[in-house]
């Protein structure tokens, strides 16, 4: 498993976007996440999406760093008044506990509850992260997954 990583978060900056764009294009990670933009390789759409996030005062995005290197992002927005979270970690860092540590830091900093999360029903890694953090499975919905070109089940989790 290697040495433990020092995981930190910082407010996402414009200068982080090149690294986050590359991380978000990994075809294995895109398929696993399932609910992604239609074309994760479209830089103009990526930049427009991040500009909307930066401009929305209800959105909180942070860049995840491990040992000082950018390895992903976490974010929170509101859907019908409930905080909803997401995260994306570079696949080369999967299995090192980075997602769990980053999300724990983020949730502690937010302090708000309840918090909802959604995950493709077959994404065992993300399900494990959410359950380690104390999220409880509260339902299943179906939705169109761009990365798979079909409708799939999505598990809904809640941290009260």
CATH code of 107's domain: 3.40.630.30
Range of the domain at 61: 7-115
Q: Per residue in 44-71, pLDDT tens?
A: 999 999 999 999 999 999 999 999 999 9
Burial of 144 (0-12, 13-18, 19+ CB in 10 A): exposed
Q: Please report whether residue 20 resides in a domain.
A: yes
Question: Look-up: residue for tokens 């953090």?
Answer: 133
Q: Please report whether residue 103 resides in a domain.
A: yes
Across the range 2-23, mean pLDDT stands at 92
Question: Look-up: residue for tokens 């976490």?
Answer: 74
Residue 152 structure tokens: 């799939």
Q: How far apart are CA 128 and CA 37, in angstroms?
A: 24
Across the range 7-32, mean pLDDT stands at 96
Q: Per residue in 137-156, pLDDT tens?
A: 999 999 999 999 999 999 99
CB 83 within 8 A of CB 115: yes
Give, in order, the Cα–Cα distances in Å from 126 to each of 3, 46, 71, 123. 22, 23, 16, 6
Q: Please report whether residue 150 resides in a domain.
A: no
CB 137 within 8 A of CB 155: yes
Beta-bridge mates of residue 157: 117, 137
Residue 28 structure tokens: 């294995």
Structurally, how many domains does the chain consist of?
1
pLDDT at position 5 is: 85
- How much is the pTM? 0.93
Q: How far apart are CA 70 and CA 72, in angstroms?
A: 6
- For 96: left if phi > 0, alpha if psi spans -120 to 50, otherwise beta; the answer is alpha
Q: At what angle do helices 124-132 and 98-110 cross, to 10 degrees?
A: 50
Q: Please report whether residue 134 resides in a domain.
A: no
Residue 120 structure tokens: 């493709």
């Amino acid at each position: 498993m290697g040495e433990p990583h020092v995981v930190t978060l910082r407010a996402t900056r414009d200068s982080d976007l090149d690294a986050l764009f590359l991380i978000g294009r990994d075809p294995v990670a895109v398929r696993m996440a399932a609910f992604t933009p239609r074309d994760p390789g479209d830089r103009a759409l990526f930049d427009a999406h991040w500009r909307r996030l930066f401009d929305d005062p209800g959105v909180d995005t942070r860049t995840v760093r491990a040992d000082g290197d950018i390895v992903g992002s976490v974010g929170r927005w509101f859907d019908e008044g409930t905080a909803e979270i997401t995260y994306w970690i570079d696949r080369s860092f999967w299995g090192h506990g980075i997602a769990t540590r980053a999300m724990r830091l983020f949730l502690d900093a937010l302090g708000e509850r309840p918090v909802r999360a959604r995950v493709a029903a077959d994404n065992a890694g993300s399900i494990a992260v959410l359950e380690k953090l104390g999220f409880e499975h509260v339902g299943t919905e179906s939705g169109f997954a761009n990365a798979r070109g079909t409708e799939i089940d999505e598990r809904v989790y809640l941290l009260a």
